[in-house]
Amino acid sequence: MIVSRHICGHEFIGEVVALGASYGGHSPGRPPLYSSLKVGDKVVSPFTVNCGECHVCRLGFTGRCPEGFLFGSPALDGGQAQYVRVPKAGGTLFNLSDSSTWSSNLPKEAREQALSNLADSSLLILADILPTGVFATLQALNHPKVAPVLTGRSWPLCFEKEVSGGNEVSFTDEDRVLNVAIIGLGPVGVCTTVSMLDAVANRKISYRIVAVDPNESRREKMKAVYEAIDASGKGTGQFAVCDIEESKKVVKEWTSGVGCTAVLEVVGNTSAISLAYDLVRAFGAIVSVGVHGAPPLPLTGSQLYNKNVSFDFGRCPARAMFPPAFDLLVRRQDVFGGVGEKASLIDKIVGFDEAVESYRAFDKGEVGKVIFDPWK
C-alpha cells in the first residue's frame, strides 16, 4: 500500500528566510504582481502557487495558473511547519513589507501603517478565506443577471456598452432590492457575509441578506459578527441568520415567492447546491466557491433551463484578490481584529500539540477558526 504523506496547511504567513537559486527579482519584463523579495520580508501566501507571469495570471485568474499547486496537498507540502518551501515565490507571495506593488483606495501611507499594525492572526485570513469571500461577492455583484437590480434599468439597457436600445421601464423600490442568500457559515461563509455587507453598504444598495447554516454554533458566531460590525460596514437593509428550513420561509416571505437575486454557496456539496437552486429566483445567479467533489451536479437540464439559472464555480484567485481583500481587512478590524472574543473570526491560537483536538472540535462545529503557531 502506498500512503501519501504530506504536510497539511494551505494558509500561512511568515518571513523570508532564504531565496532559492532559481528565484529572480523584479525586472522590467515582469508584471507588477511579481513581488521583489529579500530575506527578512514579511509575507503571506495565497493557498495556491502561481507564477505571476503567464497569460492566466495576467488576467487575474491566478488560482488556475498552469504552474499552480495547492499547498498542503500530496503535490506540495503546506504551512503546518516551522519552514515551508514556496515555488514560484515571486509570483505567489504577497510582500507585506512592500505595499508599492498593488493599487488601493487606501493611500500608501495608510497601507503601510496598516501592515505594521495588523496582527499576524488578522493578516493570515488573506491567504484564503477573506479573498474567497470577496471573490464570491464580486462575482455576484458583477453578474449580468444581477445588473437590473443594481443599475435600476431593465434588461438589456442595464448593459450600457453593447446595447443599442431597450425598454425604458420605471422600477419600484422593491425592484431594486438585492435579495441574497449565503449558504454555509464556516469561516469562509462569515468572510463572504462580511464582504457582501461591506459592498452593499459602500454602494448604498438596498438589500435583504439571509445567512444560512444548519449548525447552531456557526449561526451564533455569525450573529455575533453581525452585531460587531459598525454602521459603515452594513448600511441599511434586512439581515437574518437561519437554519435551512427557516431560510426557505424567510426568502419566500421577503420576496413574495420570487426568490433570491443571488445565492452564494460556501459549502461544496450537493445538498448546498440543491438548497441554492431552491432559494434562487428565476434569472438568478448562484455563485459557488465551495470545493466540490465527485458527485454530479444534482440538477437536470430542464431544471436549469426552466429557471434560467446561472452558476459560477471554482476556486478563488487569492493572489489577484489580495488588494480588495486587504482593504476590507483594514476597514473591518471591528470583526477581523480580535482573537477568542465572541465576535472574533479566529477563536484561538494554539501549538501543534493541540492540533488533533482542534480538528476534532472544528469538525463538530464546537470551535471556529483555529490558528497554529508552529513556534509555540
Nearer to its own copies, 283 or 352 (CB): 283
Q: Does 204 bind its own copies (CB under 8 A)?
A: no
Least spacing, CB of residue 67 vs its own copies, in Å: 13
Minimum Å distance from CB 190 to its own copies? 20
**Which amino acid type is present at position 155?**
W
Among residues 38, 85, 108, 203, the one that binds its own copies under rule CB under 8 A: 203
Among 6, 25, 38, 59, contact with its own copies (rule: CB under 8 A): 59
Is residue 75 at the binding interface for its own copies, with CB under 8 A as the rule?
no
Compute the distance between CA of residue 31 and CA of residue 104 in angstroms, rounded to an integer.
17
Asked whether position 216 contacts its own copies by CB under 8 A, the answer is: no
Q: What are phi and psi of 181, to 5 degrees?
A: -115, 140
Residue among 211, 219, 192, 194 at smallest CA distance from 289 = 192
State yes or no: residue 235 binds its own copies (CB under 8 A): no
Closest contact distance (angstroms) between CB of 371 and its own copies is 26
Q: According to the binding rule CB under 8 A, does residue 167 interact with its own copies?
A: yes
126: three-class secondary structure by DSSP: helix
Strand partners, 348: 370
Of 134, 264, 262, nearest to 195 by C-alpha is 134
* Residue 114 to residue 325: CA distance in whole angstroms: 13
Paired strand residues for 127 = none
For its own copies, which residue of 72, 78, 133, 323 counts as binding (CB under 8 A)? 323
By CB under 8 A, tell whether 128 contacts its own copies: no
Binding residues for its own copies restricted to 22-41, rule: CB under 8 A: 31-33
Nearest Cα to 125, choosing from 12, 267, 242, 218?
12
Out of 8, 119, 224, 258, the only residue in the binding site for its own copies (CB under 8 A) is 258
Establish if 324 lies at the interface with its own copies (CB under 8 A). Answer: yes
Q: CA 312 to CA 88: how far, in whole Å?
A: 28
Q: Which 144-163 positions form the footprint of its own copies (CB under 8 A)?
A: 144-145, 147-149, 154-159, 161-163
Amino acid making up residue 18: A
